[in-house]
Amino acid sequence: MSGFVYIVGAGPGDPKLLTIRGLECIQEADVILYDRLVNAEILTHAKEDAELIYCGKEPGRHGLIQEEIHRVLVDQANLGRQVLRLKGGDPFVFGRGAEEAAILREAGIPFEIVPGITAGIAAPAYAGIPVTHRDHAASFAIVTGHGRAEKEQDFLKWSALAQIDTVAFYMSIGNIAHITKSLIANGKSRTTPAAVIEWGTTANQRTITGTLETIAEDIQIHGISNPSMILVGDVVGVRNQIAWFIEKEHELC
C-alpha cells in the first residue's frame, strides 16, 4: 500500500511565515525529512511519534546525499506512511523539489507540492528593501551564485543579468568577487547599490549595504557568512526610508 509525500516549503526562517497548508502537512506527517535551514520551532508542530530525519547540506558536510533522500522518500511512502519533505524557502527555488517529484512520479507514488515564501523576496522585505518599485525597478531576477568561471561552471548570462533592475543572488557569499566583477564587466555600474542580508527574517538578521564595487570587501569587514542573500539594484536605496525590522548589532571582525 503506497503512502503519500508532501514536498513543502518551510519559508525563509521566521516560523510565522510558514503557510497554513504547510502547517497542516507537518501535523499529519508520519516521517519528516528536513533541511538545514528549516527553523527548529516549525518541527515542534509534528506529531509526538513522527520520525524526524535530518537531510541538511552545507559545504563539505551533507546529512544525506540527494540520491539517498530519493531512496528514503520512496521507501517510506511504500510502507504506507505520510511522508513530508520539508525544505527551507520554496521547494522549487533552488530546492531540488522538482527532482524529488520526478522520482516519486516514476515510482508511482502520489505527492503534493506546497509552495513556500522564498528568501529572495522575504529577506529583502525584512531589511526594508522592495525587490520591485515603481520608481526604481520593473524587473527582478533570482539567481544561483554557485557558478565559477575558473571551474567552467558559470552558466549565467551576465550580459542579460546586467540589464535587470534587481538581482537576488542565492548561495553566493563565497563567490561574491566573481559576481561583482562579472556584472561590472558586462555593463553594470560600479556604483549600483548592493546589500547583503545574513540570516534573513530571523532574530540573527544583519544587513549591510554598499555598492557593486565595495560589497565584496564589506562582507569581509563585517564577517558576513552563509546563509546570506545578496541583492543588487537601486531598490537597495529605499531601505533608508522603510527599514522596519530590528536587527542584530554589527560586530566587526
Residues with a catalytic annotation lie at 35, 57, 171
Closest to 85 in 3D by CA, of 32, 23, 40, 26: 32
Per residue, the 3-state secondary structure of 80-94, as one string, reads CCEEEEEECECCCCC
DSSP class of residue 25?
H
Q: Is 47 helix (H, G, I), strand (E, B) or coil?
A: coil
Query: 196-219: buried (b, 16+ CB within 10 Å) or exposed (e) per residue?
Result: bbbbbbbeebbbbbbbbebbbebb
Q: How far apart are CA 23 and CA 3, in angstroms?
A: 19
The three cell numbers of residue 140 are: 527582478
Closest to 14 in 3D by CA, of 86, 88, 84, 85: 88
DSSP class of residue 133?
B
